[in-house]
């Protein structure tokens, strides 16, 4: 990654974008569009189509037709594998273009986006390409005279709704396993970050994915997302985003065709630091980036830091110095450590959360205000609060911004109680030099992921999913395929 390479791409004009339906690019039936405004400088980049019910209908019909015709679902697994590998090849060939395009759209710092977006997406497609011909049925242990077979079959039409923070990475987590299983897909990106996924769709066509197997409709959640969620011919809906939207999707399923709905809904993840942590300096550095990277816009962010009282003051001082030193600025500058907040709307929510925390008695140690390193953009100084109590809003509700709440504890039992004092259960971490304690905490914390002496970094080989109100089902790993396959029993009298 070189600055000259990035600078050569950062000002390229972006044409107004259509939707991909049945292998063709098209405008919305209504002709309506939405502006794409960059959080870097507040300037409009282009427009995207604002899909409505007729557009979603066309996309779902194309997906259903391609599935029924078997152009993908009945293609030999070895041939599907080749196409998925070619998609990964094209992502890698367009790595810089995709990374810069995504950053212009959502403001993630380029150093992170470079790896987490096209880098991760290419790896995800390769992983599931290798899974295609390794999903087998089963032979049941049946009585004499009978044969029980368990077939694994593609479900049909998958609707996928993905967020704006890591659109390419999370989009790949959903698209790649759904395709590997033989399904057809209708993808609805966030209206705040559609550009890299639209480019990915073209790369999929270029790689030989048959028309209608992947369709992309852009627009608002209230219009395009609602239409997809309520569509009677969508078999599965997979979503990453907020809890309130997840509840609406479940309601839409109940009021339509009872489609299966898989939800990843974020969290308020606890990061627990014991006084026997092997390296407090390293723990502070990693913990800081576990909340501040991508301006806190990470579903697994360690937003609740629980620190044993004997090292609390020292640890908070370390965090203070780190937070104050982080370079917030132009996300397309390779030296920037923290990029832009995704939108002016999100920045306003973050600042309101800071104000509420102060009003409730939490102590702001550093940051918390809006910045303007680039005129017209949306930026925020990483905020560090201590003096937070478990009943405060900051300890209970997800901000989805660079705001860290520090709470003290005395003994291990207190740490467990505080860690689990949440309606969420997505991620967590434990810092300790005791192997026994690490294992006890892994068992005790109610979360889908428990890091030990690190924060972040699990790759495609392990599942990501939550418990409680962080959702259900899993992205990543072989387990993600379970969402996109039906089991069919054949009971044969011999």
CATH number (domain holding residue 223): 3.40.605.10
Are 176 and 296 in the same domain?
no
SS3 341: coil
Which helix (H) or strand (E) segment holds residue 414: the answer is helix 412-419
Packing angle between helix 195-206 and helix 167-180, nearest 10 degrees?
Answer: 40
Can you say how many angstroms the Cα of residue 230 is from the centroid of all Cα atoms in its chain?
A: 22
Please check whether residue 476 lies inside any domain of the structure.
no
Q: How far apart are CA 246 and CA 236, in angstroms?
A: 14
**pLDDT value at position 457?**
82
CA nearest to 189, candidates 106, 262, 296: 106
Check 109, 264, 337, 398 and give the catalytic one: 264
- Same domain assignment for residues 178 and 301: no
One digit per residue, the tens of pLDDT, for the chain of length 494 reads 899 999 999 999 999 999 999 999 999 999 999 999 999 999 999 999 999 999 999 999 999 999 999 999 999 999 999 999 999 999 999 999 999 999 999 999 999 999 999 999 999 999 999 999 999 999 999 999 999 999 999 999 999 999 999 999 999 999 999 999 999 999 999 999 999 999 999 999 999 999 999 999 999 999 999 999 999 999 999 999 999 999 999 999 999 999 999 999 989 999 999 999 999 999 999 999 999 999 999 999 999 999 999 999 999 999 999 999 999 999 999 999 999 999 999 999 999 999 999 999 999 999 999 999 999 999 999 999 999 999 999 999 999 999 999 999 999 999 999 999 999 999 999 999 999 999 999 999 999 999 999 999 889 999 999 999 999 999 999 999 999 999 999 999 99
pLDDT at 445: 98
What local confidence, expressed as pLDDT, does residue 337 receive?
98
Pick the closest to residue 21 from 44, 45, 52, 47 (CA basis). 52
Active site residue 264: yes
| Distances in whole angstroms, Cα of residue 123 to Cα of each of 183, 218, 220, 426 | 20, 25, 29, 23
List CB contacts of 157: < 8 A, sequence separation 6 or more: 60, 63, 64, 67, 183, 184, 185, 186, 233, 234, 235, 236
Residues 6+ apart with CB under 8 A from 465: 264, 448, 471, 472, 473, 474, 475
Any domain includes 76:
yes
> How many separate domains does the chain show?
2
Q: What is the pLDDT of residue 165?
A: 97
Cβ-based neighbours of 46, under 8 Å, separated by 6 or more: 14, 15, 16, 17, 36, 195
Helical segments of 297-343, H only: 309-325
What kind and span of H or E run contains 110?
helix 110-114
Same domain, 207 and 335: no
249 and 386 share one domain:
no
For 193-215, the DSSP string reads S-HHHHHHHHHHHHTTPPTTSEE
> pTM here?
0.97
Containing structural domain, residue 315: 270-458
Q: Residue 4: exposed, middle, or buried by beta-carbon count in 10 A (0-12, 13-18, 19+)? A: exposed
Are 239 and 378 part of one and the same domain?
A: no
Asked if 134 and 166 sit in the same domain, the reply is yes
Going by C-alpha positions, the residue among 124, 113, 117, 112 that lies closest to residue 88 is: 124
Q: Write the CA distances from 151 to 179, 351, 430, integer angstroms.
A: 18, 52, 41
Helix (H/G/I), strand (E/B), else coil: 426: coil
- Using DSSP's 3-state secondary structure scheme, residue 331 falls into coil
Q: Could you tell me where the beta strands, DSSP code E, fall in 206-332?
A: 214-216, 236-240, 260-264, 270-273, 304-308
Q: Tell me if 346 is assigned to some domain.
A: yes
Identify whether 466 is part of a domain. no
Q: Can you tell me whether residue 374 is helix, strand or coil?
A: coil
Rounded-to-integer distance, Cα 285 and Cα 450, Å:
18
Strands 379-380 and 370-371: antiparallel
Shared domain check, 397 and 335: yes
pLDDT at 458: 87
């Amino acid at each position: 990654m070189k600055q000259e390479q990035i600078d050569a791409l950062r000002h390229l004009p972006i044409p107004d974008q259509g939707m991909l339906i049945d292998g063709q690019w098209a405008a919305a039936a209504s002709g309506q569009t939405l502006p794409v405004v960059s959080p870097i400088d507040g300037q409009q980049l282009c427009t995207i189509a604002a899909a409505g019910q007729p557009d979603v209908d066309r996309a779902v019909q194309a997906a259903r037709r391609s599935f029924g015709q078997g152009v993908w679902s009945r293609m030999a697994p070895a041939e599907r594998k080749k196409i998925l590998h070619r998609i990964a090849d094209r992502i890698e060939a367009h790595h810089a273009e995709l990374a810069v395009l995504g950053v212009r759209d959502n403001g993630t710092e380029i150093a992170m986006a470079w790896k987490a977006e096209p880098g991760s997406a290419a790896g995800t497609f390769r992983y599931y390409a290798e899974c295609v011909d390794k999903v087998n049925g089963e032979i049941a242990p049946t009585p004499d005279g009978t044969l029980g077979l368990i077939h694994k079959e593609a479900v049909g039409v998958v609707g996928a709704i993905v967020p704006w923070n890591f659109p390419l990475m999370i989009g790949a987590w959903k698209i790649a396993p759904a395709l590997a299983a033989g399904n057809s897909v209708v993808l609805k990106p966030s209206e705040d970050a559609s550009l890299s996924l639209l480019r990915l769709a073209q790369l999929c066509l270029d790689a030989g994915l048959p028309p209608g197997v992947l369709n992309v409709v852009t627009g608002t959640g209230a219009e395009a997302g609602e239409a997809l969620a309520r569509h009677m011919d969508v078999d599965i809906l997979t979503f990453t985003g907020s809890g309130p939207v997840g509840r609406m999707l479940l309601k839409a399923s109940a009021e339509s065709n009872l489609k299966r709905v898989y939800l990843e809904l974020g969290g308020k993840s606890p990061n627990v630091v014991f006084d026997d942590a092997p390296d407090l300096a390293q723990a502070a550095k990693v913990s800081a980036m576990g909340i501040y990277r991508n301006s806190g816009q990470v579903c697994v962010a360690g937003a609740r830091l629980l620190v044993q009282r004997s090292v609390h003051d020292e640890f908070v001082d370390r965090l203070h110095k780190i937070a104050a030193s982080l370079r917030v600025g132009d996300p397309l500058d390779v030296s920037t450590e923290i990029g832009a907040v995704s939108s002016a709307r999100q920045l306003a929510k973050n600042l309101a959360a800071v104000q509420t925390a102060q009003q409730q008695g939490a102590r702001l140690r550093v940051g918390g205000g809006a910045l303007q390193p680039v005129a017209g953009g949306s930026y925020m100084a990483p905020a560090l609060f201590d003096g937070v109590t478990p009943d405060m809003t900051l300890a209970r509700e997800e901000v989805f911004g660079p705001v860290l709440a520090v709470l003290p504890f005395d003994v291990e039992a207190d740490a467990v109680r505080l860690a689990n004092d949440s309606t969420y259960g997505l991620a967590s971490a434990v810092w300790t030099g005791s192997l026994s304690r690490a294992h006890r905490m892994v068992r005790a914390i109610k979360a889908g992921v428990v890091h030990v002496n690190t924060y972040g970094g699990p790759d495609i080989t392990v599942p990501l999913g939550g418990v409680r109100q962080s959702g259900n089902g899993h992205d990543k790993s072989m387990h993600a395929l379970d969402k996109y396959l039906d089991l069919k029993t054949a009971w044969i009298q011999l």
